[in-house]
Each structure stands twice: as C-alpha cells, then as structure tokens.
Amino acid sequence: MTRAVAVYPAQMSIVLPGTWANIPLDDERATEHAISELLKKQVGRDDRLARLRRDARERLRAVAKDAREADAVQLALSLEILPGIPFPASMVIDYRPWLDAAAVGDLTLAQRLALQLPSGDVLDLESGVAVRTFVDTTMRQGTDDIPVIKLEYYLVVPSGERLLHVVADVPIECDPEIIATLFDAIVDSIRWFVERNAVVDGE
C-alpha cells in the first residue's frame, strides 16, 4: 500500500510506501500528544513493555526536537512497509540554502550538488537533480547502541534557488543498498504544487 502525502508548508507531495504517521511540529503539546497516541497504538499499555515505551518516547522526542530546531516542514514515522511487516524509520524534511562554494552560477547543477555534499552520489531523478549519502552506523537508544542506516538527500527545487533537505534514519540491520534504493524511490516521488521557473542545467 502506498499513498501520496501533501506537505503544504513545502508546496509538494510525496508518495510513502506502507503505513506512516505524521508528527506535528508547530506546537510542542500537539507533538507530545501525537507521540503518546502513537506509542499507545504501537506498543500498548502492558507494564512489561514499560522500558520499550520509555526508550521509544525518548527517541521520538529527540527526533521531533531536532526536526523543530531545523525548521522542518515534515516529520514522518514509518510503522509498516507492508501490512504486518514492521519497518521502523523516521524522515525529516526541511529547506536549506546553497553553500557559498556551491552557489557559483557557471557550474552545472550536478557540480554544485557535489560541492554541497562532497561524499554523496548525484542522482538524476524525475523530481529533480539530487545528491545522496548513506551510512551504516549505530545510534543510542536508552542504554543500548542499536544499528541504524542514515540517509541524507539534497534535492534542487524547480526554481533552483534553494534545496529540499531530506534525512532518514532506519534503525534496522539490513543491506544499506536496499534501504537506499527504497528511499531513492520515495524522494523520486516528490512533486511540486506550484509551477516555478525551471533551471537550465549549467545556467
């Protein structure tokens, strides 16, 4: 199951596979309420799961705090990739300016993106030219270190004036290439609401 999610602050839509929850960021009480309701639904109230709920709440609060500080326009949490198949992941979307070194007008978009994220791979997507990195690492959850695949994208908006920044954390043990292919498709599904002046590569 997939569905297109409209992200009105970013004037775009994105297709998300499986089941995702959107966490509001404008109001801290609304954020906390959404996290509590999500934990009730996904974990339940069993006392034996108290530590799991506590660790998950701390992680979700930290993700929401980071997203709010980044002026994110979207925080989405994946619940299932298919019915009955859990797929934990978080995705934060915000806008970023070009770095000074990448703002030189006589470079192609691919060259500018390579300067924006030097360790990344440039992707020519239907949604625009993008650059992406991914790394297999660990993250702290409670007192434990758990494996996580971290992905970062910069996608050129149609006007070329700024970049859409997408960061995904996937805390599972899996082939990172498979996860990168999945999120490449998600980023490639982005469509813009407002028709803007297109950028001609190299101009």
109 or 142, higher pLDDT:
109
Residue range 21-72, pLDDT digits in tens: 888 888 889 999 988 888 887 776 776 767 777 877 888 888 889 888 888 8
Average pLDDT over residues 124-143: 84
Confidence of residue 4 (pLDDT cuts 50, 70, 90): low
19-22 long-range CB contacts below 8 Å, 24 or more apart? 19/78, 19/79, 19/80, 19/83, 20/76, 20/77, 20/78, 20/79, 21/76, 21/77, 21/79, 22/74, 22/75, 22/76, 22/77
Residue 142 has pLDDT above 80, yes or no: no
Confidence of residue 173 (pLDDT cuts 50, 70, 90): confident
Task: Report helix angle 28-42 to 50-69, nearest 10.
Answer: 150
Q: Are 38 and 30 in contact (CB under 8 A)?
A: no
Residue 192: predicted pLDDT: 87
Domains assigned to the chain: 2-192 (3.40.1000)
